[in-house]
């Protein structure tokens, strides 16, 4: 179980993962050692999975963000595992979900341009033997950035 102080630590670290134990302690009215121990406990318990930098897709030349829905033709474990292996090899696919409804998978992708997205869809995803249908939605504008999880 986590308490309100732990939740405040989680919220603070989602906003700035570089906070030191001293800074966390100052924010939460704890000693640096208490703040550090709580942070380590949250890490050990799995509440904090890791720390990562948020990069600028535009500065990296990734001008197209899209969501790609994939429907499989058959739903056996072999087909699902084969498709999951393909997804794991593609760096432009930054996240993937299995879904209920018409589509079996939702993929979030970043590509350099529309040509690269077209190539991913028509030369990589669609030819996979398990894939029956691929549908994409190109992001016009992301007006809310990926937000922290509610604590």
Express each pLDDT in 74-106 by its tens digit.
Answer: 888 999 999 999 999 999 999 999 999 999 999
Q: What is the pTM of this model?
A: 0.87
What single string gives the DSSP state of each residue in 30-81?
Answer: --HHHHHHHHHHHHHTTS-----PPP-TTTTT--EEEEEEEEES---HHHHH
The domains located in the chain, with CATH, are 4-44 (1.10.10), 64-138 (3.30.70.920)
Express each pLDDT in 52-73 by its tens digit.
Answer: 999 999 999 999 999 999 999 9
Express each pLDDT in 98-149 by its tens digit.
Answer: 999 999 999 999 999 999 999 999 999 999 999 999 999 999 999 999 988 9
């Amino acid at each position: 179980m986590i308490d309100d102080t732990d939740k405040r630590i989680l919220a603070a670290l989602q906003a700035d993962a570089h906070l030191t134990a001293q800074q966390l302690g100052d924010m939460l009215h704890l000693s640096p050692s208490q703040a550090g121990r709580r942070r380590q406990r949250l890490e050990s318990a799995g509440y904090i999975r890791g720390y990562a930098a948020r990069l600028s897709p535009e500065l990296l030349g990734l001008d197209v963000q899209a969501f790609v829905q994939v429907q499989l033709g058959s739903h056996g474990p072999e087909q699902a595992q084969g498709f999951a292996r393909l997804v794991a090899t593609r760096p432009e696919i930054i996240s993937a979900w299995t879904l209920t409804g018409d589509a079996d998978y939702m993929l979030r992708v970043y590509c350099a341009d529309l040509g690269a997205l077209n190539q991913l869809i028509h030369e990589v995803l669609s030819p996979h033997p398990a894939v029956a249908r691929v549908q994409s939605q190109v992001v016009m504008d992301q007006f809310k950035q990926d937000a922290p999880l509610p604590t």
